[in-house]
Amino acid sequence: MLVSIAPLALLGSAAGRVHRWSVESQQQGRRNAMIAATECAQRRAEREEVDDFFVALAAPRTDETVRRTAHA
């Protein structure tokens, strides 16, 4: 016995797959964007921390700073 699928049923099934694909694709893209934004924020924070360290290192040392570091 041969079962025939109606052409409308095929179209509905294909439309469902296309819709699922578009939704899943957008969700994956959003996840990738959130991961990338988090990575950028972490790198920026690290870069600022390094910049602050070098600024503090290059800053002229006062007598107070010398006394504090000597007792630390």
Tell me, what's the pLDDT at 2? 57
Q: What is the DSSP string of 21-67?
A: HHHHHHHHHHHHHHHHHHHHHHHHHHHHHHHHHHHHHHSPPPHHHHH
- Residue 69's SS3 state is helix
The domain segmentation of the chain, as residue ranges, is: 19-58
* Per-residue tens of pLDDT for the chain, all 72 residues: 555 555 666 667 888 888 899 999 999 999 999 999 999 999 999 999 999 999 999 988 876 666 666 665
Round to whole Å and give the CA distance between 34 and 40. 10
Read off the tokens for 22: 């578009």
Tell me, what's the pLDDT at 46? 98
